[in-house]
Amino acid sequence: MLDAGLLPGKTVLEIGSGTGTNAIEFARRGYRVTAVDLVDLAVQRAREKARRAGVEIDFRIGDATRMRLGGPYDVVFDRGVYHGIRGRNLPAFLRMLERVTRRGTRWLCLAGNAKEPMEDGPPVVSEEEFRAELGPLFKFIEVREFRFTLDRDDFRPLAWSILMERR
Ligand X SMILES: C[S@@+](CC[C@H](N)C(=O)[O-])C[C@H]1O[C@@H](n2cnc3c(N)ncnc32)[C@H](O)[C@@H]1O
Q: Which residues bind ligand X (CB under 6 A)?
A: 16-18, 21-22, 36-39, 42, 63-65, 79-81, 85
Identity of the residue, 103 or 120, whose beta carbon is nearer to ligand X in the bound complex = 120
| Among the listed residues 71, 65, 17, 68, the one whose alpha carbon sits nearest the alpha carbon of residue 44 | 17
Smallest separation, CB 22 to ligand X (Å) = 5
The CB-of-93 to ligand X minimum distance in angstroms stands at 7
- Which one, 95 or 139, has the nearer CB to ligand X? 95
DSSP string, 32-64: EEEEEES-HHHHHHHHHHHHHHT---EEEES-G
Burial class (CB in 10 A: 0-12, 13-18, 19+), 161: middle
Distance CA 122, CA 116 (A): 10
Which is nearer to ligand X, 81 or 109 (by Cβ)? 81
Q: Which is nearer to ligand X, 85 or 164 (CB)?
A: 85
The CB-of-94 to ligand X minimum distance in angstroms stands at: 12
